[in-house]
Amino acid sequence: MTTLTLHATGPIGPDEVWERYAVPARWSEWAPQIAGVEVPVARLVAGVRGRVRAPLGVALPFVVDAVDEAARRWSWTVSLGPVRLHLLHWVTEGPDGGSTTGLRVSGPAPLVVGYAPLAHLAIGRLVRPLR
């Protein structure tokens, strides 16, 4: 098991960045590795199960493990067959305004290392204006 932590800081305020996380229908706006999300709720809630659709029609099941709206933190587990990735996300105020978001990914080393560049791109877009 390998764990990697990534951070990104940008001009969008923490409340808006949190909303981009908290509403799964918005994930594809900022995460290029997500084509869509199938989930029975409009807003993240612990215990909810769904599927995240990647490009090329791949759909991966997930479960939201925890959500703390006040702390702007949430975690989920994504499955790829028997392999699991555990992801913890958080949003804080940025050092000079805006916000900083963090992502801690845990799982098999090749998967974590392979996912890191896409994840870093996504969280960088998360904290910046959408185009």
SS3 of residue 103 by DSSP: strand
The domain limits of the chain are: 2-126
Residue 10 neighbours by CB under 8 Å, 6+ apart:
94, 98, 99, 124, 126, 127, 128
pLDDT of 37 strictly over 90: yes
Instruction: Reply yes or no on whether the pLDDT at 130 is more than 80.
Output: yes
For residue 45, with 0-12 CB atoms within 10 Å meaning exposed, 13-18 middle and 19 or more buried, which class applies?
middle
Tens digits of residue pLDDT in 52-109: 998 888 899 999 999 999 999 999 999 988 999 999 999 999 998 999 999 999 999 9
What's the whole-number average pLDDT of the chain?
96
**Global pTM value:** 0.94
Average pLDDT for residues 36-56, to the nearest whole number?
A: 95
| pLDDT given for residue 88 in this prediction | 98
- For the domain covering 2-126, report its CATH number: 3.30.530.20
pLDDT bin (cut points 50, 70, 90) of residue 35 is: very high
Length of the chain: 131
For residue 55, the model assigns a pLDDT of 85
On the question of pLDDT at 131 being above 80, the answer is: no
pLDDT at 103: 98
